[in-house]
Structure 1
Amino acid sequence: MILNFIRGFCMALADSVPGVSGGTVAFLLGFYDKFIGSLDALVAGSMQEKKEAIIFLIKIMVGWVVGFLMAVSILASIFDAQIYKISSLFMGFILFAIPIVVKEERANMKFNASSIIAGIIGIAIVALITYFNPIAGQGSTVDLSSLNISLILYVFVAAMFAISAMVLPGISGSTLLLIFGLYVPIISAVKAVISFNLDYLPILIVFALGILAGIVSVVRVIKWALDKHRSIMIFLIIGMMIGSFYAIIMGPQTLSTPKAPLSFSSFDILWFVVGGLIIFGLQKMKDVTEKAE
């Protein structure tokens, strides 16, 4: 229980910030296949497999909820003011995570035309979503307390994309929310509900339904692709991680009061190194958790 609590807690810290995904943390800590297999079992497993999956995921979820609530209570207050430090931290996460993914998956990676194309597609997906984001540079004017059909659909679809990214060991779902201009509004809405301001509860329910829809529709595809075409998927994931550098650089433009993209002058080397140290610590934690099992 303690081991899986720690795993869920670490996943939540990753999921709550744009950078690496909770799936990346699960990958770095060595339980990704069990995690994605458990999600798949909820959808299409036998009764016994469903029971085992539920028990495992509940243990993970307890740690995840605690970690997420702690992260949200801090991030909602400092994200705008410290965007460049946080962005530098995210870049450290990603840059130092990529070689670990390559090292862990080296035996499965095949350098051929299909894999290289998959990597290029991964970069392009994130870069194009970021480039054509209609909110960037205009400020996030989304008012999550006032529901309408277009907002409900937008949040629902964004949640589906976000959870799909969160379960992949690649780009963070929070990075996608940042691209869609929903990261700060969703984080602020969660903090408001925690403070018993229920005006934002309806849109958070929509967001949760989008997450569930994403899990049901995407997880089986991801598991199948990783099982049957692992090399191509790893290159796609690495491509998305590389592409997320551009998303993070442009992230300040999606704030409610847009700021200039991250530049050499606003880049914070100290927080970048801290991001790398955290990834290094997670890799070391993997050795500890494997011994514990």
Structure 2
Amino acid sequence: MTAPQSPKPSESSVPQPLDTSVTTTDSPKQLLGVYFKGMAMGAADIVPGVSGGTIALIAGIYERLINALSSIGPHLWQIFRQEGGIKGLVAVWRQVDATFLLCLLLGIATSFLTLAGMIKHLLDNEPLLIWSFFFGLVVATVFILLSEIKRWNIGRAVLFIIGIVTAVTISSLPLLTTTPSLPYLFFAGAIAICAMILPGISGSFILLLMGAYDTVLEAVHTHNFTVIFTVMAGMATGLLLFTRALKWLLSRYYQATLALLTGFIAGSLVKVWPWKVDALGSLNSEAITNVMPWQYPTGAHWLSTVGLMLLGAILVSLLSWWGNRTNRA
């Protein structure tokens, strides 16, 4: 497989990998936009089955995020020592694109603190509606990203299929019902953040599979900082190890990697399918088995479900347009 020619930024709503040797200077308006995109990522990551990486990819900040995260490492100490003092700190800040990361993380944190309760309420009480919205969002994302793959070949088609199969397999795994210890939560955070960065594989769903999702969500509600900081430490560890490999793939095999990531997103449709029941065909907290709309116990609710799917598709299309416009600017 050879490294493909990447499309020009003006031809694609998905930006190409940035040159990390160039310092990016953002205006306050652009940083505010990054903050709101971070809020969108955070809202998506709360839902088990929807990835914040999907939002980052469609919003046009995915490669910049990967570049920034992969620049964090022991070499920053050498950069600091070369300059020393305030100048060294400024050099390190610029090297990791810290202003961008800070605005993004503030947006994600805002969503977790303000939307976690509301989304949990909707998942518990109106699952059909919220899953319909995210199903439409994910379907539109798949179509948008498929259009970004300029030249299909057998290798990229195989990678697309591998992505679908992987996401479907992960979505079909049985849930663990353990009482997580702090070391286990650290490990769960490290695994979940890797999934969270990958579009289509939900970090929150990985936490759900590992039996840690309710513990983490409850910790956010009750401000249990011991649990929160343990999970965050695990996430930071996993993030630093994972992003370098992903950056290497994006810089050398961009279109092939995009095909794989799009496959992940397409496969996640199994998880976000709106019509779900439990093993007995009833509706309760264990409703994870997909059924046809006409088999749903309370009816298909076509008007509300299709309407919310269209709303999700429209919003993600607007987000893609916004990302494309921002990149051109």
Same fold (TM over 0.5): yes
Query: Shift of the alpha carbon at 1:117?
Result: 2.5
**Post-superposition shift, 1:83?**
1.9
Rounded to whole Å, the distance in 2 between the matches of 1:251 and 1:212 is: 34
For each residue in 1:208-257, what CA deviation from the matched residue of structure 2 results, as whole angstroms up to 9, or x when unmatched?
A: 12211111110101111111222332222122112212223498769994
Verify: 1:170 aligned to 2:200, yes or no: yes
Aligned partners of 1:168 and 1:49: how far apart in 2? Answer: 29
Matches within 5 A, 1:78-97: 78-97=122-141
- 1:122 and 2:163 correspond: yes
Q: How does 1:46-85 map to 2 (within 5 A)?
A: 47=79, 50-52=92-94, 53-85=97-129
Distance 1:252 1:142 in 2: 23
Identical aligned residues as a percent: 25
Alignment partner, residue 138 of structure 1: none
1:45–1:172 distance in 2 versus 1, CA, 3 Å = farther
Q: What is the one-letter code of the residue matched to 1:192?
A: T
In the alignment, does 2:311 pair up with 1:274?
yes
Q: Structure 1 counterpart of 2:207, which letter?
A: L
CA contact (8 A) 1:15 1:172 kept: yes
Match of 2:87 in 1: none
| AA matched with 1:175 | F
- Counterpart residue identity of residue 37, structure 1: N
What is the deviation of 1:34? 1.5
In the alignment, is the contact (CA less than 8 A) between 1:126 and 1:244 conserved in 2? yes
**1:15-30 alignment, distance < 5 Å:** 15-30=45-60
Deviates more, 1:216-225 or 1:52-61: 52-61
TM-score (norm 1): 0.80
Q: In structure 2, how many angstroms separate the alpha carbons of the residues matched to 1:269 and 1:179? A: 29
Contact 2:201 2:265 in 1 (8 A): yes
Q: 1:123 to 1:180 in 2, by over 3 A?
A: farther
Q: 1:71 to 1:61 in 2, by over 3 A?
A: same
Q: Distance in 2 between matches of 1:29 and 1:55?
A: 18
Residues 163, 211 of structure 1: 8 Å contact kept = yes
Shift of 1:184: 4.0
CA distance in 1, matches of 2:213, 2:284: 10
Q: Relative to structure 2, which stretch is displaced further, 39-48 or 91-100?
A: 39-48
Instruction: Indicate conservation of the 8 Å contact 2:51/2:199, yes or no.
Output: yes
Deviation at 1:110, TM superposition (A): 3.8
Q: Secondary structure at the match of 1:65?
A: helix
Q: How many residues align?
A: 272
Structure 1 residues 76 and 260: CA distance shift in structure 2, 3 A: closer
Quote how far apart the aligned CAs of 1:191 are: 1.4
Runs of at least 5 residues in structure 1 that lack an aligned partner in the other structure: 136-140
- Structure 1, 228-237 or 254-263: larger mean CA deviation: 254-263
User: SS at 1:80's partner residue?
Assistant: helix
Superposed CA deviations along residues 236-288 of structure 1, whole A, max 9, x for unmatched, are 21221122122234987699941252431446323222221221221232245
Q: Which has the higher helix share?
A: 1
Decide whether aligned partners of structure 1 residues 62 and 79 sit closer, same or farther in structure 2, where only a CA change above 3 A counts: same
SS at match of 2:71: helix
Q: Deviations over 1:112-134 (max 9, x none)?
A: 2x323322222222222233324
Q: d(CA) in 2 for partners of 1:57 and 1:15?
A: 17
Contact 1:123 1:242 in 2 (8 A): yes
CA contact (8 A) 1:171 1:240 kept: yes
Tell which deviates more after alignment, 156-165 or 55-64. 156-165
Query: Is residue 241 of structure 1 aligned with residue 265 of structure 2?
Result: yes
> Which of structures 1 and 2 has the bigger CA Rg?
2
Question: Aligned-residue CA RMSD in angstroms?
Answer: 2.9
Q: 1:102 & 1:45 partners in 2: Cα distance?
A: 37
* 2:53 alignment partner AA: G
TM-score by length of 2: 0.72
For 1:79, what is the secondary structure of its paired residue?
Answer: helix
User: 1:160 deviation in Å?
Assistant: 2.2
